[in-house]
Amino acid sequence: MTSPFTKHQDVEQQTLVQVLFEQQFKRSAELVCHAPGRVNLIGDHTDYNDGFVLPAAINYGTTIAASAREDNIVKVYAHDCDQQVSEFSLDEIVFDEQMMWSNYVKGSLQALLKKYPAIKGANLVVTGNVPQGAGLSSSASFEIAILKAFAELYQLTLDGVNAALLGQQAENDFVGCNCGIMDQLISAMGQQGHAMLLDCKSLSFEDAPIPEDLTLFIINSNVKRGLVDSEYNLRREQCEAVAKYFSASALREVTLTQLNLAQKEIEPVLFRRARHVITENERAVNTFKALKINDMATISAAMRDSHISLRDDFEVTTKEMDGLVEMIDAVLGDSGGVRMTGGGFGGCVVALVPNDLVTQVNEVVNTQYESQFALKPSIYLCTATQGAFRYNWVNIESDKIKINQ
Ligand code: GLA
């Protein structure tokens, strides 16, 4: 989604898509679905190594109004992507070089068709407010919203884990990013007020409440991310190369002792990549345990170490993200935690901030970031929300609602 939803703050997302649907298709939508973006508290670049992650679904996401069609045509109006319309047949799904956003729809449906070949087309209106390219999973929220809408339209027995696997397939096989399962799974299965420890090998998960005295404070560095997919895929290849060296199915199976013993045999860059993954898995599990007992000192240290590891060993941070982490860490000390979040190479930093320090952190970011990096930060005070859902239908008087274009 190219532009944040903030333009339409006066209209709820659900209402917005219902009204837009009527305008586009001259009839009411059958249903409205929503899937959230996510923030990862800790455990980055571990999911595709069969490791552990600790994300939460956030109150920014993708909302879709949908109606079934009797033919195989899918017609999508993307309100936030310059109001573009993509129309294609389920019989011939081809990559679109122009409307890149439409490939998330196409990829998801291509994957869905393999499992449910009998589905028909649909009319869809999409809007989203997850900042794009910020490391908050706007694409996973789009895929999961599409899959949820089709599951509801055609009453498919598609549970959240399988929807996540299809969304991941869309990215891997159609869009061309070899991402792991984290983003799609939390978007499908997140729990309000909770973070989820996900074991990316078994796909089992457990939730822990985020203490109420903490705010999920997200800052977008607004560094435009470049070469993300190629650098991301390269990191994955490097991890797989080390796993192969140990004849392991994934780095999850390799211990730090084994890695250290083999240090002389392994290229230094590959050694550092693997060290990040192995230590990050341990930090994710420890943070989850600490979250359950509100042990902030442990969370704080783990988040600090995670950032350093992503900066020095995995090399996916930028100087702007490092700067943000440093200035926030100086305020929080051991009473909160801060680190980069997501794939990296730009994008967001996440902080767990005690409610009584929110104003201070806000002020530090607003005064110091721009003067140091000549970029304006965007701040999102988030809450952990539930995963994908279908809205209860509301009747609207669409002629009374004015939408700012
Ligand atoms: C991206 C990918 C995820 C995960 C993170 C890094 O968000 O989509 O699968 O690998 O990067 O943790």
Per-residue pLDDT of the chain (405 residues; tens, 9 = 90+): 333 333 334 468 999 999 999 999 999 999 999 999 999 999 999 999 999 999 999 999 999 999 999 999 999 999 998 899 999 999 999 999 999 999 999 999 999 999 999 999 999 999 999 988 888 999 999 999 999 999 999 999 999 999 999 999 999 999 998 999 999 999 999 999 999 999 999 999 999 999 999 999 999 999 977 667 789 999 999 999 999 999 999 999 999 999 999 999 999 999 999 999 999 999 999 999 999 999 999 999 999 999 999 999 999 999 999 999 999 999 999 999 999 999 999 999 999 999 999 999 999 999 999 999 999 999 999 999 999 999 988 787 776 776 665
Distance CA 3, CA 381 (A): 18
What are the extents of the domains in the chain? 1-211+231-312+385-405
The CATH fold assigned to 1-211+231-312+385-405 is Ribosomal Protein S5; domain 2 (3.30.230)
Residue 318 contacts residue 221 (beta carbons within 8 Å): yes
pLDDT of residue 405: 56
Which residues line ligand 1 at a C-beta cut-off of 6 Å?
A: 40, 44-45, 47-48, 137, 179-180, 182-183, 342-343
Q: Confirm whether 183 is a catalytic residue.
A: yes
pTM: 0.94
pLDDT of residue 133: 82
Q: Which amino acid is at 146?
A: I
Distance CA 178, CA 21 (A): 33
How far does residue 342's CA lie from ligand 1's centre (Å)?
Answer: 6
Structure tokens at 151: 């599951």
pLDDT of residue 2: 30
How far does residue 264's CA lie from ligand 1's centre (Å)?
Answer: 29
How far does residue 293's CA lie from ligand 1's centre (Å)?
Answer: 27
The count of residues in the chain is: 405
The number of the ligand 1 atom at minimal distance from the alpha carbon of 47 is 10
Sign of CA dihedral 243, 248, 251, 255: negative
Q: What separation in angstroms does the CA of 289 have from each of 146, 188, 275, 296, 302?
A: 34, 23, 22, 11, 12
Distance of CA 29 to the CA centre of its chain: 27
pLDDT of residue 395: 81
pLDDT of residue 228: 77
Q: Which residue's CA is the closest to the ligand 1 atom numbered 1?
A: 343
The number of the ligand 1 atom at minimal distance from the alpha carbon of 180 is 9
